[in-house]
Amino acid sequence: MLVVMNKTATQEEIDNVVACIEKRGYTARPIPGGERVSIGILYNKGSVDASFFRGVQGVKDLIPVTRPYKLVSREFKPENTVVNVGDVSIGGKSLVMIAGPCAIESETQALTIARHVKKGGAQMFRGGAFKPRTSPYSFQGLGEEGLRILVKVREETGLPVVTEVMDYETFDLVEKYADVIQIGTRNMQNFSLLRRAGQAEKPILLKRGMAATIDEWLMAAEYILEEGNPNVILCERGVRTFVNHSRNTLDISAIPVVRKETHLPIIVDPSHAAGIRDQVIPLSLASVAVEAHGLIVEVHHAPDEALSDGAQSLYPDQFEELCRKAETVFNMFDSK
Ligand code: PEP
Ligand code: MN
């Protein structure tokens, strides 16, 4: 249940409704909106009796929440959430391009790619320092050294950096260096990691599990919001299907569904969806056409020598081409 307050409701009236909810043993979560405050009721088992709130000063409306997720739902918060990272706004009025290598391999590699993607049109840099690899014999990332290189990239280019956290134990470390903390597909339902992410000060980029339904994905985001971190960016990165012409299948229909169901911003990772460079630009443009708020793309200046995911990494000039085309598609839509 959501208690919608009048536009003119005073703080005293809001506090009174909160007290009224808590007196009944529930948790009240005031959600400030553009025009008015709404108060969500959490931890109710079964439906809440709306008659408790009828006629209470300052209350405009009572809306039953029909979804299993609450804080992330549009029913709770109709306006889009905009996640600000330095000067970059995700979920706002412009398309956000995030680019960089799959993994940070060296300072020279990271800085070379960062200069290219900045020139090409990226607003943020990506690169893994802790890599979740299918094989224990594959390159696992540079760890803290990789995080230090990310700081150098930020210092030199001014681009905020996004990097993945793989486990609870290294969360503090990653949080210290990153501007945005990524939770990868394999960890989407790592609930202790999600709770820790909910206590972080930094925004979280939450990738969709490779076999997760949209409900499961939004429930994972709910863990983060429920712990107190409102800054979650969702990322569709393809799901596992029977096909073998691509690494995963980009679930393009997830974008309009997610935009309808939640106020959180959604971006697309066409690189891990495709697994093959040739598909990255077409999938990116399709994602922008269905109104994704941004893209996160793997780029490498020498993909043949990349220590991971070279086959899906764009060359710098392809990234530049992508930025130009994506902006054109983005400008065809004005709904934002
Ligand atoms: C990544 O972005 O580096 C990554 C490993 O992605 P995913 O979790 O989507 O596979
Ligand atoms: Mn990768």
Say which CATH number the domain at 44 has: 3.30.70.1140
Counting atoms of ligand 1 from 1, which one is nearest the CA of 207? 9
Counting atoms of ligand 1 from 1, which one is nearest the CA of 187? 8
CA neighbor of 8 nearest in space, from 50, 55, 53, 59: 59
154 lies in the same domain as 16: no
Across all residues in the chain, what is the average pLDDT? Answer: 95
Ligand lying closest to the C-alpha of residue 165? 1
Residue 63 pLDDT grade (very low, low, confident, very high; cuts 50, 70, 90):
confident
43 lies in the same domain as 134: no
Ligand 1 probe mutation, 182, 283, 296, most atoms within 8 A of CB? 182
Ligand lying closest to the C-alpha of residue 131? 1
Whether pLDDT at 65 is above 90: no
CA of 325 to the centre of ligand 2 (A): 23
55 lies in the same domain as 94: no
172 lies in the same domain as 312: yes
Locate 200 and state its tokens: 């972080």
In a domain, 189, yes or no: yes
192 lies in the same domain as 45: no
CA of 309 to the centre of ligand 2 (A): 5
Residue 290 pLDDT grade (very low, low, confident, very high; cuts 50, 70, 90):
very high
Q: How many structural domains are present in the chain?
A: 2
- Give strand pairing partners of 28: 41
CA of 272 to the centre of ligand 1 (A): 7
CA of 183 to the centre of ligand 1 (A): 8
Ligand lying closest to the C-alpha of residue 102? 2
CATH number of the domain bearing residue 243: 3.20.20.70
44 lies in the same domain as 88: no
Pick the last residue of a domain from 12, 32, 63.
63
Pick the last residue of a domain from 63, 91, 116.
63
In a domain, 277, yes or no: yes
28 lies in the same domain as 159: no
In this prediction, residue 259 carries a pLDDT of 98
286 lies in the same domain as 322: yes
In this prediction, residue 43 carries a pLDDT of 86
In a domain, 76, yes or no: no
Whether 275 lines ligand 1, by a CB cut-off of 6 Å, is: no
Residue 45 pLDDT grade (very low, low, confident, very high; cuts 50, 70, 90):
confident
209 lies in the same domain as 95: yes
**Stretch 305-331: mean pLDDT:** 98
Ligand 1 probe mutation, 164, 167, 296, 307, most atoms within 8 A of CB? 164
pTM of the entire structure? 0.94
In a domain, 186, yes or no: yes
Q: Which has the minimum average pLDDT: 55-69, 237-251, 314-328?
A: 55-69
Whether 272 lines ligand 1, by a CB cut-off of 6 Å, is: yes
96 lies in the same domain as 173: yes
In a domain, 72, yes or no: no
Whether pLDDT at 227 is above 60: yes
Within 13 Å and on the Cβ side, how many CA atoms surround 211? 4
Whether pLDDT at 334 is above 70: no
pLDDT tens profile 119-153: 999 999 999 999 999 999 999 999 999 999 999 99
Tokens 């994506």 locate to 326
In a domain, 78, yes or no: no
In a domain, 218, yes or no: yes
User: Using CA positions, which residue lies closest to atom 4 of ligand 1?
Assistant: 184
In a domain, 224, yes or no: yes
Residue 142: which domain range? Answer: 83-330
**Stretch 170-185: mean pLDDT:** 98
For residue 48, give Cα distances in angstroms to 4, 29, 65, 91: 15, 15, 10, 33
Whether 207 lines ligand 1, by a CB cut-off of 6 Å, is: yes
49 lies in the same domain as 176: no
In this prediction, residue 51 carries a pLDDT of 83
138 lies in the same domain as 284: yes
CA of 298 to the centre of ligand 1 (A): 10
